[in-house]
Chains A and B, each alone.
Chain A
Amino acid sequence: MTNTVKFSTRNLNFFYGDFKALEDISFDIKKNEVSALIGPSGCGKSTYLRCLNRMNDLIPGTRVEGAVTLDNEDIYAPNVDVVNLRRRVGMVFQKPNPFPKTIFENVAYGLRVNGVRDKKILKQNVEKSLRQAALWDEVKDRINDSALGLSGGQQQRLCIARALAVEPDVVLMDEPASALDPIATQKIEDLIHELKKNFTIIIVTHSMQQAARVSDITAFFYMGKLIETGDTETIFTRPALKQTEDYITGRFG
């Protein structure tokens, strides 16, 4: 594991109109680590996640202050190609959202958008991504069937494969397992452990146990502020701050 900083956030403020949703967030995310963002609903953790690939740009009336750099480059600089940024920083959402296409086409989609036409390369990359997402063995014999025929857990892994196909550096996951049953959840969690060898992963989760199981670093958000961050083991065994302690032991809400 390297200690290279992948994402660096400095004094980040984020506004929805007049509402300040994030306040003075400074946080480094290191390469090949899994960082979990936890905190009660409305604390800003998903907003922060969406700042990292500028998904918030799509919401009218929002404003960003402060700096976010990816590999030391300001992602909010005027010359940044947002489509390219989102290729480098992929995203997986709470509800699996496969396209109403075949399994193959779902994974090939990003590659085609990026101009890949060679069928052999497409095939190789689709298989590689499906293998990385631990789905290949389950779908290899029905690769041309509709993705909508897959189970919820398989659909979510398909979405992960789709995100991986364009070879991102970072994968953002916004509650990727909250709509899944425990076995499908387990598969996603196992997958996260595997994926961190090649990717940097940032996950928002409402399940503290999940954060504890999958992440190296945990960041606790509350009311738009980053309250405490540290090694996951430390956060869940002896957090430094009472607010963190109270949240993870369920003492406030």
Chain B
Amino acid sequence: MSERHHFIKELEDLKLTILNMAALSRQALKNANTAYLERNDTLAQEVIDGDRKINALELEVDAKSLKLLALEQPMAKDLRVILGTMKISNELERIADQAVNIAERTLFLSQYPPLEPVASLERLMETTDQMIDLAINAFLDENADQAIKIRHMDDMADQYTLEILQAMILYMVKSTPATEKRILNTRRSIQTIIISRCLERAADLATNVGEHVAFIVKGINIKHQKVDFKE
């Protein structure tokens, strides 16, 4: 019996493509956050332009996966790696889409004076980035336990998102009655709420990546249910 060297090499290549995609998606979100915080239009535009490359990688993962499924008829963990990889690439592509969305809001917001800083927003940015980093490392190390850790962090991300929403509502309510300024404040607040929503979505997507990793490693689907691997 052959030891399927060729197949194993192609599977490794597929994983490398995912890691490449993960690095680009994570960087896109980091850059979008930096562009927002530093009001950097050039960087925001780079995020928007860079999305094409991530989309292309998603197509590449789909094509490679389809080929391996059709030609190699993988079983057991090999099969799970390919199915999991296809799903992870989809999540990563959507994380990058959230980065683009934040960059687009940034281009709008940077035309106007900054809002008062909201501490929760920077915390949300940090948490989301850490979750993506953990998810990527979970995939690299085939560590299913990380999925549970990422889930817990997602609860924090949800909390920060709520705090941002509350802060923005307060800001809109408190705004000066002068009509024109009030409209501007409201517009800026809403854009900021959208940014927080984007980050919160990215955190959800990172949670999904962790769940796909758990599926690859353990062969069980932990979506929509409580699981503790250490039980």
Contact = CB atoms under 8 A, between A and B. Distances in A.
B3 A251 contact: yes
B1 A250 contact: yes
B1 A249 contact: no
B77 interface: yes
Contact of B2 (A40, A208, A250): A250
A253 B2 contact: yes
Contacts of A238: 76-77, 80, 218-220
A249 B80 contact: no
In the complex, which of the residues A238, A249, A252 has the most CB atoms of chain B within 10 Å of its own CB atom? A249
Contacts of B77: 238, 245, 249
Contacts of B57: none
A236 B4 contact: no
A64 interface: no
Interface string B9-33: 0000000000000000000000000
Contacts of B76: 236-239, 244-245, 248-249
Interface residues of A, number: 16
In the complex, which of the residues B1, B2, B74, B75 has the most CB atoms of chain A within 10 Å of its own CB atom? B75
In the complex, which of the residues A209, A212, A239, A250 has the most CB atoms of chain B within 10 Å of its own CB atom? A250
A251 B77 CA distance: 11
Contacts of B219: 237-238
Interface in B58-79: 73-79
Contacts of B79: 236-237
Contact of B4 (A209, A237, A249): A249
Interface string B71-102: 00111111110000000000000000000000
B3 A253 contact: yes
Contacts of B108: none
B199 to A, nearest CB: 34
B80 A237 contact: yes
B7 interface: yes
Contact of A252 (B3, B74, B80, B220): B3
A238 B221 CA distance: 12
Contact of A250 (B7, B80, B218, B220): B7
Interface of B: 1-4, 7, 73-80, 218-220
Given A236-B76, A253-B3, 17 more contacts: A208-B75, A209-B73, A236-B75, A236-B79, A237-B219, A238-B77, A238-B218, A238-B220, A244-B76, A245-B77, A248-B75, A249-B4, A249-B77, A249-B78, A250-B2, A251-B3, A252-B1
